[in-house]
Amino acid sequence: MKPNLMILGASGGLANAVLHSLVHHRHLFNKLILLDKNKRLLANPYLDHTNLDYTFIHKELKSGRMDEYGDLLKKHGIDIVLDLTDAKSIPLIKASDEAGVDYINTSINDNDKTSPELISEIFSIRNRWKSARNILCSGMNPGNVNMWVR
């Protein structure tokens, strides 16, 4: 069975690169759900919207409202989340894990904490993760983008 993929931050520059590559590999996924707090993606004339065959969700993810995010994961039967946002990472990791969804991000983010503090927090909670697999801090260079798509 093909996995259902959700991309967070789907209107951003990095997502634009991912979507340009993903269109060539779209057959590898069942549902493609694109989520962003703005609608720029919908007006992008350079994307192949038809062959991407996606559902767009216009929503801002707020760290205090991860129940809404968890509900979206369940509603759409998401198997993999690709987080391309600058949203707080720890709440997204926890909520994805609670839903049993594999989570990939480019970097860990939190305006209130330093990177060493975030890494320490991740190490302290990683043994409590359920069955979900996580790839954290994978970077944003074009080679990484191409690998995520594959």
Task: Say which residues have a Cβ less than 8 Å from residue 44's Cβ, sequence separation at least 6.
Answer: 11, 16
Per residue in 19-60, pLDDT (tens digit) is 998 999 999 999 999 999 999 999 999 999 999 999 999 999
- Reported as a pLDDT band with limits 50, 70 and 90, residue 132 is low
Name the residue with higher pLDDT: 14 or 45.
45
